[in-house]
Chains A and B, each alone.
Chain A
Amino acid sequence: MDRLLLLLPTTTYRTQDFIEAARTLGVDLVCASERPNTLEAQLPDRFLTLDFTDPDGAAAAVAEFSRAHPLRAVVGVDDVTAVAAAAIAERLGLTSSAAAAVATARDKFQMRECLAAAGVPIPRYRRLALKDDPFFAARGVGFPCVVKPLTLSASRGVIRANNVDQFIAAFRRIAALLARDDVSVTGDGAEYVLAEAYIPGVEVAVEGLLIGGELHTLAIFDKPDPLQGPFFEETIYVTPSRLPDEVQRRIREVTASACAGLGLAEGPIHGELRVNETGPWVLEVAARSIGGLCSRTLRFGTGVTLEELILRHALGRPIVSLDRERRAAGVMMLPIPRAGRLRAVHGETAARAVRGIEDVTITAHRDQELIPLPEGWQYLGFIFARGDEPAAVEASLRDAHARLSFQID
């Protein structure tokens, strides 16, 4: 039986879907987390504790483990574990993009350096040292700009600045964020921020799977809520895109050129692009699949999940179809409206009753401390919808959301 190593941080939403896919495929599953599982002592062949921020150390530990328990594949589920998984795969000779390419994609500055060299359209950018005086750092920055950490995800710490005063405030706010106990960034990620030109236009997300260097676009998601700042909270994703076919073709082309420019060749990618009258602009391409529970919008062939596709590819098993189902699908990530503690959620039944709604999943737990953007990174939950047309899906999501209320003290 094939043995699969999944790298699952204790903070990820992705665990259930990847474990379910592993069960469907009947693999012998080994789970690694950054903190010990409560059953690790009983099942040392099933659980590993790895420092995901030290890819080489993780690779050495897994190489040792694999002597007694040979692995067929290793898969990371987020930005941090993707880098560790690539290092492990490289060491063990398993299917993966090159570790250096995945690490480059993880660092927003290195990514832009690479994409710029490859001629991929990206915003004008500068890397700024946090030790510098933001007043002087602002001198080389055009406005409006977007200031962001190098390595955080989920729009965490991403702030628009329209002038020097806003830039200085954003710079200091990100510096404070990076110093928080719940932020574990090291190296350049702890010492620099990125400032890049704000690109007006609509934003899309691209989900893809690289096989032998070829990008297979699995879905293009429209983001119908405007993302204009000052923070960039993601809410609704709907696929298929309603953009003209020619624009979608260019999105696929530009994303593929970004993957090639980065040297990514195998496995899932998640791209974020802005699109305006001059065409698509790559904001980022990550060597991982879509975050949160959003992958539940995607079904392929006869109902195969995104996670099963990813695992099949990593395991070298046949993939019957990469075609998404014909129906439109969407998800709404429920934003945190304000800081506080979640005391109650009302209206779930009414939200589920909305036509087209498939599920409402509240992931925040009762009494959980809620931290909104830009410091926070979590969601209250997710709403999922399907319908004949993208517009109907979007309407269902908005209707369901309007029926929910959250008591936050």
Chain B
Amino acid sequence: MSDDLKTKVQDLIDTMINPAVAGHGGFVELIDVQDNRVYLQMGGGCQGCGAADITLKAGIERLIKDELPEVAEVLDTTDHAAGANPYYTAGKA
């Protein structure tokens, strides 16, 4: 079941998500799917980006859940502090 879901999530990432985030020099990698939770890692312009949380929770999670309602949550496993080239840089506010 999880492998099947994993394949479907990967397909969404390849066809829908990565072509879009590539516009900001970013990419998303599927790390795992466990108990209907999708674990992702963000790279390129997404890693350390000030808008990464927005993109993940309001964007990527929504896109995945729309297509795969059985997905409970999408979780970010990225080490954002290691991002060397974020598209938007966070600052205090």
Contact = CB atoms under 8 A, between A and B. Distances in A.
Contact of A154 (B81, B86, B87, B92): B92
A19 interface: yes
A368 B90 CA distance: 11
Contacts of A366: 81-84
A9 B49 CA distance: 12
Contact of A379 (B16, B62, B92): B92
B58 A19 contact: yes
A291 B91 CA distance: 10
Given A37-B54, A39-B21, A43-B59, A364 B81 contact: yes
A43 B84 CA distance: 27
A101 B75 CA distance: 39
Given A38-B26, A39-B20, A42-B16, A31 B81 contact: no
Interface in A115-158: 153-154
B50 A12 contact: yes
Contact of B51 (A33, A46, A333): A33
A276 interface: no
A interface, over-half SS: loop
B60 interface: yes
Interface in B15-73: 16-17, 20-21, 23-24, 26, 47-51, 53-55, 57-60, 62-63
A228 to B, nearest CB: 21
B1 interface: no
B54 A153 contact: no
Nearest to B22: A38
A38 B88 contact: no
Interface residues of B, number: 34
Contacts, number: 118
Nearest to B66: A43
A184 interface: no
Contacts of B51: 8, 10, 15, 33, 35, 37-38
Contact of A14 (B49, B55, B62, B93): B93
Given A33-B51, A378-B91, A38 B21 contact: yes
Contact of A11 (B20, B53, B89): B89
B6 interface: no
B81 A10 contact: no
A79 B59 CA distance: 25
B63 A43 contact: yes
22 contacts: A8-B54, A9-B93, A12-B90, A14-B93, A16-B53, A31-B54, A33-B51, A35-B88, A37-B51, A37-B55, A38-B26, A39-B55, A39-B60, A39-B63, A42-B20, A77-B93, A79-B93, A153-B92, A153-B93, A333-B92, A365-B81, A381-B81
